[in-house]
Amino acid sequence: MTHRDQDQYRQKLGSADQAAALIRSGDTVFMGEFAQNVEAVDAALALRKNDLKDVILITTTRAKPLKCVEADPGRQSFTWNDWHFSGLGRKYGERGLASYIPLCYHQGPQNISWYEAPDVAVVQVTPMDANGFFNFSTSCSMTPAYCRKARKVVVEVNTQAPRCLGGQDESIHISRVDLVVQGPNTPLLQLPETHLSETDRMIARHVMELLEDGSTIQLGIGALPNIVGAMIAQSGLKDLGVHTEMLADSYVDMYLAGRITGKRKSIDCGKMVYTFAMGSQKLYDFLDNNPAAAIFPASYTNDPCVIGRNPKVVAINNAIEIDLFTQVASESAGFRQISGTGGQLDFILGAYKSEGGKGLICINSTFRKKDGAIGSRIVPTLSPGTIVTCPRSLVHYVVTEFGYAQMKAKSTWQRAEALINIAHPDFKDQLVAQAQAMGVWRHSNKIL
């Protein structure tokens, strides 16, 4: 480390209270992403609730409660805007304490550059290295864009955070930092194990039919991607590549099983490309200083044109509801915001651009209602107020536990027929009658 870097570090080292003092009424403050939860500055800022008004806090999928928001339930001092709801964001949103920011994920950094004016960026980082750089660790999707645009940049050091190699924009130099704060060094968030149902396993088996040697894979979050990853690890598939937004534990299992080599990728050969990581300590230990993986901003990982440069991209994502016109809802149930668009649309587009690519929308055919009754997730039209995540014109494959259907180049009645064929048998007759009532049915249609 140069003397200049050491001197800058000493000069810029301060307290969480000093960082909180940088923030003024009316400011917009970025507070980090995903597993990199700013803690010390959040707690210090919460203590200033009586001094501040109309401060906007921005996060991407905050995983731990914001003390600022908990200290100010009346929303006079702090307003929380989130680029993607977690379970926590959803709970706070239902109380009127959090708002969702719609986006196409790959456009996030550009949105910030063009249309945002953040006053302060507070981000959790690894300790400074010998070259004067702090690493953004597991969260790089929009953090670099906020650090470039903000009036002041505060880094909160966490010695427990893994050093995640790039890629691009994975670090920030001490010369670009205004204040360095030592955090409480809390271990990163550990995602709990997800419950795997037999329905998930059935869907996963159909997904496996669509994979082949040399596929470049993207898995979303949840039980289904985990079971797909486990099946891949135990399969005979060869030379898989990875280009994804989220890196999870299942990728570690696939890599260690020898299924992932990346050698057939057209770009970033041999690298598992991602923009954020969330999982268990196993994942974080695997990523620490590991050149097998490369972290990039979302403007790269989620750009459909970049995704499509790799061969045989198979994008595997979940949905909440799909209608007979093949409109896909993956982020809301009626007016209730559940999560966000995330990268689903980016990867559906990118997979279709890929030679031999497949964009999969995976959905359980049924769900259990609050009264215990079973409802169909394949519906005639989306529930009132429900947001369309993937428009029908872009839907490629739909997968349920009863099979899969390819939707490109199909008419409205052909799509309805294909969907009903993979719906739960108990709802097929009802869906046929509803399709006839809506005029998207032909008398010659055959239902299996």
**Chain position carrying tokens 């009658």:** 433
- Strands 152-157, 171-173: pairing is unpaired
**What residue type is assigned to position 112 of the chain?**
I
DSSP state of 172: E
Give Cα 99 to chain centroid, integer Å: 17
The two structure tokens encoding residue 80: 């929380």
Q: How far apart are CA 106 and CA 134, in angstroms?
A: 24
**What residue type is assigned to position 244 of the chain?**
T
Q: With contact defined as beta carbons under 8 Å apart, do 50 and 72 qualify?
A: no
Give Cα 333 to chain centroid, integer Å: 18
Give the catalytic positions in this structure.
Answer: 245
Q: How far apart are the first and last CA of the chain?
A: 69
**What phi and psi values does residue 418 have, to the nearest 5 degrees?**
-65, -40
**Which parts of 188-285 are beta strand (E)?**
216-219, 241-243, 246-247, 272-274, 276-277
